[in-house]
Chains A and B, each alone.
Chain A
Amino acid sequence: MKFLQAHSLLKGFSADKKQRLTLVMSGQPENLSLFLRAEYAQRGVDCEIATIPFNTLHQYLLTTQQSGVEECFLLFPWDFLPELDWRSGVNETLLAVEEVEQRLENIGALFQQRNAHFFYVQAPVLPLYASAAENLRLGKQLVALALQLNAEVLSADFFSLTSYLNFGVPVASNQSGDLADIIIQSLLTPVSQPRKVLVTDLDNVMWHGVIGEEGVAGVKDRPEAEGYPHFIYQTLLRKLKNQGVLLAAVSKNDPDLALAPFQRANAVLREEDFITVLASYEGKAAQINALMAQLNLGLDACVFVDDNPVEIAAVTQALPSVTCVTFPAKVDGLAALVAQLEQLFSTTRLTEEDKQRTRLYRTRLAGMLPVASAEVNLETFLRELEMVLHIADRTHAQQERAVQLINKTNQFNVNGVRYTEAEVNDILQQGGRLWTASLKDKHGDHGEIIACLIDRDEHIVSLVMSCRVMQRKVEQAFLGWLAGRVLTKDYISLRYLKTERNTPVEHFLVAEQFSCVDGIARIARQDFAQQQQTVMSWFTLRVQE
């Protein structure tokens, strides 16, 4: 916003919504005050701004704060230590470090007494000590002091030495509009409370790898190679837990598998470090919602960490109050993740109760019913994913990925039977068929994620789906299409065998009301095809025969 625009906005402006604000700064405040009022006006608020006379900030600090009036402090380094002020010239007396630190502590305590919004401009300062290193350290000390006040720290670009020396106006005229915008945005944002609960995904977050596929021995979370970021993440969670943050895990896995890594002798995090480990194939949003209700905490107290953008998007959409954090795909993103979590859970006081909190909540949850699994608006979410299912006939070519999928998938695998390429070819040469499906959505391409091998008698002898795309009803859409377009018999027949790992298949068969007799899961073909029409409408189906 520029000067004339600010004036135009304020010309004759009046609104029912009123605000009273005191802008406290040691320099001339008039120009910034104009822009602040204009920024408020732009947001429909009629703001009355009081200011203090030039260079009277310290006196103001000794007055009692007025009730019903917001205070906004715009601080510069010399507001903490007047010797740093350009307008006074370089101080002749050499001050002792201890004396300066004591004075900083005193002035910091005075600021702390105000219930106010603080902004700190990191303006350059005059030297105070003989040692350049000490002067540098002082600069950092001032920033730390500002941060203790929860101040928003602003760059030196907002300061103009020319304007300050000539007119006592420390804010650069061409930056006043931007500065006012930053201040108002901050003033209008409710002060966020530290979060209390961290809900974390497991696979590729707590460890590298998918435990349902690679087993407890195959996942990596030690301080070496691919395990390193996950080791660091676990140690961060351990620290957060010790400062009173409640940890919960939510994972699409079998419960025994999800817990296994936390039961190893050398585990950084133990099972008892979590208030609960929710392992099921239900939607995460529903599980988080139910968990927070059981804990009797608002959703805004919760932070959810996952590596999968689809899970992040689903939780964001279903539970907008939950803060969602993406676990980085690359190690370079780890520092930002650590900083973000540190900020979200930042606390200044640590009580004995904080340290015991996990134990208290574990006890509390133990007496409750399991987390309810009602899905939160799944249909809306899936429709908005803009999923494209590309179905391909691989009977005659390009079978490698299908064979690979059949041989490495554990969770959504109807029977766990492995087939070599030769065995697959044998079935195909006898009149069988091999189909695959690839999935794309608005977040990206998931590649070939389903393989389905059908023998000449139309028995589905293998049906596998990558765990990457579970909870999207892809299996329903694919089988629905197959039932309507490829299969011809009265019944769909799947060769089903319960394995240690294929619980998701069991859930699917039960939900779709397949009957299981003698290792064959069956359902009337046309009824099934009909039932899947709605789910199929959530996908754009493309077929390559």
Chain B
Amino acid sequence: MTETMLENLKDIFRFVLQLPEDASVEQVNQDNTPKWDSMAQVSLVAGIEGEFDVQLELSEAVQITSFESCVKLLEQKLG
């Protein structure tokens, strides 16, 4: 995963989870982010799929429980 992609992924998290522009997202997870509800999960998946032109199966989408887990998943998908 390139640096640009990583930055774009951070922006997707900030937009969807309504975090400040300079917020650090590396530690973000479902438990410590009140805005991360089921609708936000759908938006995150749509954003990731649309931005990186990938398709996530349900089993993959449910693995996204934190920014860290999302990075891991995308690294596997994108190679």
Q: Which residues of A contact B (CB under 8 A)?
A: 2-4, 7, 28, 30-31, 160, 162-163, 165-169, 173-174, 176-177
CB distance A169 to B46 under 8 Å? yes
Q: For B53, what are the chain A residues with a Cβ–Cβ distance below 8 Å? A: 174
How long is the Cα–Cα vector from A176 to B8 in the complex, in angstroms? 18
CB distance B12 to A4 under 8 Å? yes
Q: For A168, what are the chain B residues with a Cβ–Cβ distance below 8 Å? A: 42
Distance from B39 Cβ to chain A, minimum over Cβ atoms (Å): 7
Given contacts A31-B42, A31-B50, A162-B56, 8 further A-B pairs with CB under 8 A are A30-B46, A31-B43, A163-B49, A167-B42, A167-B45, A173-B49, A173-B50, A176-B50
Known: A4-B15, A165-B58, A166-B61. A30 touches B42 (CB 8 A): yes
Q: For B56, what are the chain A residues with a Cβ–Cβ distance below 8 Å? A: 162
Known: A7-B15, A162-B57, A165-B58. A2 touches B51 (CB 8 A): yes
Q: For A163, what are the chain B residues with a Cβ–Cβ distance below 8 Å? A: 45-46, 49, 55
Which chain A residue shows the least CB distance to B39? Answer: A30
Distance from A208 Cβ to chain B, minimum over Cβ atoms (Å): 52
B contacts with A, residue count (CB < 8 A): 19
Q: For A173, what are the chain B residues with a Cβ–Cβ distance below 8 Å? A: 45-47, 49-50, 55
| 12 cross-chain CB contacts under 8 A | A3-B12, A3-B47, A4-B8, A4-B12, A4-B15, A31-B50, A160-B55, A162-B57, A163-B46, A173-B45, A173-B47, A174-B53
Which residues between 22 and 72 of chain B lie within 8 Å of chain A, taking CB atoms?
39, 42-43, 45-47, 49-51, 53, 55-58, 61
CB distance B12 to A174 under 8 Å? no
Q: For A7, what are the chain B residues with a Cβ–Cβ distance below 8 Å? A: 11, 15
CB distance B43 to A162 under 8 Å? no
How long is the Cα–Cα vector from A169 to B50 in the complex, in angstroms? 13
Q: For A165, what are the chain B residues with a Cβ–Cβ distance below 8 Å? A: 58
Known: A30-B39, A31-B43, A169-B46. A4 touches B57 (CB 8 A): no
How long is the Cα–Cα vector from A4 to B46 in the complex, in angstroms? 11
How long is the Cα–Cα vector from A177 to B51 in the complex, in angstroms? 10
How long is the Cα–Cα vector from A163 to B60 in the complex, in angstroms? 12
Nearest 4 pairs of A and B residues by beta carbon: A173-B49, A31-B46, A166-B58, A3-B50
CB distance B11 to A4 under 8 Å? yes
Q: For B39, what are the chain A residues with a Cβ–Cβ distance below 8 Å? A: 30
Residue of A28, A165, A168, A174 contacting most chain B CB atoms (<10 Å):
A174
How long is the Cα–Cα vector from A165 to B45 in the complex, in angstroms? 13
Distance from A533 Cβ to chain B, minimum over Cβ atoms (Å): 62
Which chain A residue shows the least CB distance to B61? Answer: A166
Which chain A residue shows the least CB distance to B7? Answer: A4
Q: For A3, what are the chain B residues with a Cβ–Cβ distance below 8 Å? A: 12, 46-47, 50-51
How long is the Cα–Cα vector from A4 to B8 in the complex, in angstroms? 7
Distance from A28 Cβ to chain B, minimum over Cβ atoms (Å): 6
How long is the Cα–Cα vector from A491 to B47 in the complex, in angstroms? 81
Question: Contact check: which of B11, B12, B42, B50 meets A177 at CB < 8 Å?
Answer: B50
How long is the Cα–Cα vector from A162 to B56 in the complex, in angstroms? 8
How long is the Cα–Cα vector from A31 to B42 in the complex, in angstroms? 9
CB distance B49 to A2 under 8 Å? no
CB distance B50 to A174 under 8 Å? yes
Question: Contact check: which of A2, A4, A28, A174 meets B42 at CB < 8 Å?
Answer: A28
How long is the Cα–Cα vector from A174 to B53 in the complex, in angstroms? 6
Q: For B57, what are the chain A residues with a Cβ–Cβ distance below 8 Å? A: 162, 166
How long is the Cα–Cα vector from A42 to B12 in the complex, in angstroms? 20
Q: For B42, what are the chain A residues with a Cβ–Cβ distance below 8 Å? A: 28, 30-31, 167-169
Q: For B12, what are the chain A residues with a Cβ–Cβ distance below 8 Å? A: 3-4
Distance from B21 Cβ to chain A, minimum over Cβ atoms (Å): 9
Q: For B45, what are the chain A residues with a Cβ–Cβ distance below 8 Å? A: 163, 166-167, 173
Distance from A9 Cβ to chain B, minimum over Cβ atoms (Å): 12
How long is the Cα–Cα vector from A2 to B4 in the complex, in angstroms? 15
CB distance A2 to B50 under 8 Å? yes
Q: For A176, what are the chain B residues with a Cβ–Cβ distance below 8 Å? A: 46, 50
Known: A4-B15, A7-B15, A166-B61. A30 touches B43 (CB 8 A): yes
Question: Contact check: which of A4, A28, A162, A177 meets B55 at CB < 8 Å?
Answer: A162
Distance from A164 Cβ to chain B, minimum over Cβ atoms (Å): 11
Known: A167-B42, A169-B46, A173-B45. A4 touches B51 (CB 8 A): yes
How long is the Cα–Cα vector from A160 to B53 in the complex, in angstroms? 13
Distance from B76 Cβ to chain A, minimum over Cβ atoms (Å): 17
How long is the Cα–Cα vector from A174 to B49 in the complex, in angstroms? 6
Q: For A177, what are the chain B residues with a Cβ–Cβ distance below 8 Å? A: 50
How long is the Cα–Cα vector from A162 to B45 in the complex, in angstroms? 12
How long is the Cα–Cα vector from A93 to B10 in the complex, in angstroms? 49
Residue of A4, A162, A176 contacting most chain B CB atoms (<10 Å):
A4
How long is the Cα–Cα vector from A173 to B55 in the complex, in angstroms? 8
Distance from A122 Cβ to chain B, minimum over Cβ atoms (Å): 20
Distance from B9 Cβ to chain A, minimum over Cβ atoms (Å): 10
How long is the Cα–Cα vector from A216 to B9 in the complex, in angstroms? 73
